Amino acid sequence: MLSKSLILSLFASSVAAAGVTGTPFGFGAATTGGGDAEPVYPTTTEELTSYLTDDEARVIILNQEFNFIGTEGETTEDGCRPDSNTCPDDGGQDAINGADWCTNSDYPTVSVTYDKAAITPINVNSNKSIVGEGTKGVIRGKGLRFAGSENIIVQNIHITELNPQYIWGGDAITLAGTDLIWIDHVKTSLVGRQHIVAGYDPSNRVTISNTEIDGNTSWSASCDNHHYWALLLIGSGDTITFQGNYIHHTSGRSPKVGGTDSGTLLHAVNNYFYDNTGHAFSITADENGRVLAEGNVFESVTKPIEDGVDLLYAVTDDGAACSSPLGRTCQVNQLTSSGDWSGSATDFLSSFADEGVEAEVASGVAASVKSNAGVGKL
Ligand SMILES: *[C@@H]1O[C@H](CO)[C@@H](O)[C@H](O)[C@H]1NC(C)=O
Ligand SMILES: *[C@@H]1O[C@H](CO)[C@@H](O)[C@H](O)[C@H]1NC(C)=O
C-alpha cells in the first residue's frame, strides 16, 4: 500500500497550478497561469469579468454557466451579403461591417441585428487560470482575448453562441500580442467568426491541446452547415504546439497559417480532422508560416492542404527527415476518404528541437481524441 502522503505528493507533482489538471507541454510548457492562488468562484458575469481583468494572479473556477447574451443590448445596422452567401434563405452567413469589410466591398447592403456582447471579448489580464468544473464552465455570448497580457491557462470551458449567423459576429479566443498561453480541453462552437485566432502581433509561446473545434452550425459561409472560419494563426514569431485536438464539421481555415516577419511555426501533432467539406491547412505563400504536421488523422476532409505545400512537412513517408534535426523519426499522417496531401519542406525542422513533443502513431489517434478532447473529459 502506498502511504497517503506519498499518494498526495504523486498527485501534487502532476498539478501545474491550483485548479488546473496536468501540466502544460510543448512551446507553452512554462505557462503557470494563476499559480497557487486561492481559487475564486464567480457567480455573475460582472464578477467573472472583474476577476479576469484585474491585476491579481488568479485561479478562477467556473462551476456554472455565464450568459452574456443581452447584457450589452442588441443593435440593428447595415451589414452586407458576401458572394459566399449563395443560400440567404437557407443557412448562409451575412456579414456585420467588421474591419470595414462591407464598406470596402461591393457586397449588397442588408440589415443585420446582432448581440453586442459578442463583438467585444473580455481582455484577460496576466497570470490567470480559468478552469471549468465538470461540464459546468460554459460562457455564452462572449469570447476571451489575450492582448498585452501573458501567462494564461484556459482549461475545460466551453465558449459558444457568438452571433453565429454573422461573419464578424464574434471570435471565441483571440491572441493578439501575448506570451505563454495554454488552451487545454476547451470547446468552441457556434461562433460568428474565428474559433481561435492568433493575430498579427507576436503571441510567442503557445500550446493548444485536447481542444474541440465544433464547426457544426445552422449558418455557414459555405452553405452546408460547416463553419468556414475555424483557426487563423497569423502571428509574427509565434511558436504553437497544436496537439490532440478534434476539429470537426468545418469547411475552411482549419487552420490557416501565415504571419509576417518570422511568421508562425506550427507543430500540428496527433490531431483528428473530421468531416471538413473545404480545406484544412492553408499556408499563405507570401507569409512565413511553417508547419510540421505528423501523426494526424484526416477523415472525410475534402482538401487536407489547400495551398502552401512548400511550407509544410506533411510526413507521408517514414519521417526520416526528422532524424537529424530532431533525433527521432516523425510519424506518418493517416488519411481516409480525404483529398490529396503533400508537402516536403524540411529546412525548418530544427526549430522544433527544443519543443520536447513527440508524436504517437496515427492509428490510435481518432479514438483517443474523440474520447479525450473537449470539455468534461479531464
Ligand atoms: C504576473 O506575474 C509575474 C511573475 O510573478 C509578474 O512579474 C507580473 O508583474 C505579473 N503581472 C501582472 C499583471 O500581475
Ligand atoms: C448539429 O447541430 C444540430 C443543432 O443543434 C444538431 O441537431 C445536430 O445533431 C448536430 N450535428 C452534428 C453532426 O453534430
Instruction: Give the three cell numbers for residue 140.
Output: 455564452
| C-alpha distance from residue 128 to each of 19, 29, 36, 51, 55 (Å) | 11, 15, 10, 9, 10
- Domains, in order of start, for the chain: 4-372 (2.160.20.10)
Residue range 205-228, pLDDT digits in tens:
999 999 999 999 999 999 999 999
Q: Is the pLDDT of residue 2 over 50?
A: no
Cβ atoms 125, 174 nearer than 8 A? no
Amino acid 18: pLDDT: 76
Mean pLDDT of 351-361: 97
Residue 31: CB within 6 Å of ligand 1? no
- Pocket of ligand 1 contains residue 127 by CB under 6 Å: yes
Look at 13-22, 139-148, 196-205 and tell me which has the smallest mean pLDDT. 13-22
Q: For position 17, what pLDDT does the model report?
A: 67
Most ligand 1 atoms within 8 A of CB, residue of 127, 146, 151, 153 to mutate: 127
Q: Does position 8 have pLDDT exceeding 80, yes or no?
A: no
Q: In the numeric block, which cell numbers belong to residue 358?
A: 513527440
User: pLDDT digit string (tens) for 128-181?
Assistant: 999 999 999 999 999 999 999 999 999 999 999 999 999 999 999 999 999 999
Which of 216, 224, 250, 277 for mutating ligand 2's site (highest number of atoms within 8 Å of CB)? Answer: 216
Q: What is the mean pLDDT of residues 77-86?
A: 98
Q: What is the pLDDT of residue 285?
A: 79
**127 CA from centroid of ligand 1 (Å):** 6
| CB-ligand 1 contact for 125 (6 Å cutoff) | yes
Averaged pLDDT for residues 344-372? 97
Q: What is the pLDDT of residue 64?
A: 98
CA of 35 to the centre of ligand 1 (A): 11
Cα distance from N-terminal residue to C-terminal residue, the chain: 26
pLDDT tops 70 at residue 245: yes
- pLDDT score at 287: 86
**Do 129 and 19 form a contact (C-beta atoms < 8 A)?**
yes
- Euclidean distance between CA atoms 19 and 130, whole angstroms: 9
Query: pLDDT tens across 35-56, in order?
Result: 999 999 999 999 999 999 999 9
Per-residue model confidence (pLDDT) at position 151: 98
User: Looking at ligand 2, which residue's alpha carbon is closest to its atom 10?
Assistant: 216
Predicted pLDDT of residue 261: 86
The pTM for the full model equals 0.95
| Residue 328 bears catalytic tag | no
Average pLDDT, stretch 276-290? 93
